Amino acid sequence: MVEAIDWPTLQEWMQIATSVWIELAGASSVANELQHGHVKLWIWGLVVLFTPVLRVIEHPSPCPPPAAWLAYSGAAPLPSSLPRSGFNAAARSSGKLYFGTATNNYQLNDTAYVAILDDRAMFGQLTPAKAMNWNYTEPERGVFTSGQGDQIVALARQGGKLMRGHDCVWYNGVPAWVANTTWTAPELAEVVQEHCFNIVRRWEGQM
């Protein structure tokens, strides 16, 4: 059985991680690290990785078995009639959960590319390469946009694929209004937490 961590627990971890990071590095240093991807970014990345946050109750392995994961995610099982060729089919035949890929929205205009992307024998999971990055989802403070991310979520659902999101905070996707502002520690903590909560809630239950 897989149980989702509730929001208060996630919020507590986010507050602790943000506070510790900013206290250790200083607000101006953290803003610089967000922009340039320095080493301490892993502290925040451990907490805000935008994938389903799960606690495994009955299974001691790092992740639940394929059947349980597929049931939780809502992805369709690979049909037995599907030809046993392609990366995802080979991975599933070997007992793996899936073989997936990342995609950009502009690539979806290429019909030959999309035909391969849609082939569930090739790929059983999708991740947006950039569409869920901070500079795409909150280009101005408090202005949240989800159109490009929604497009990839819809594509995954239509193709019966697993969907995984992107990190809420990624060094190569920090908007200019964050990187170019001098923040105090409390101000930066509020900005990061506000962004993460809004983005995770936007796609809650869809991954």
Least confident of 24-38, 77-91, 176-190: 24-38
pTM for the whole thing?
0.62
Q: What angle do CA 166, 200, 165 make, to 5 degrees?
A: 20
Mean pLDDT, the chain, rounded, equals: 76
Please write the tens of the pLDDT for every residue from 140-154. 999 999 999 999 999
C-alpha 133/C-alpha 165 separation (Å) is 9
**Which comes out higher in pLDDT, residue 47 or 190?**
190
Q: What is the CA radius of gyration of the chain?
A: 18
Q: Which three-class secondary structure state does DSSP give residue 50?
A: coil
**Which comes out higher in pLDDT, residue 7 or 98?**
98
What is the pLDDT averaged over residues 108-123? 95
DSSP 165-186: ---SS-GGG--HHHHTS---HH
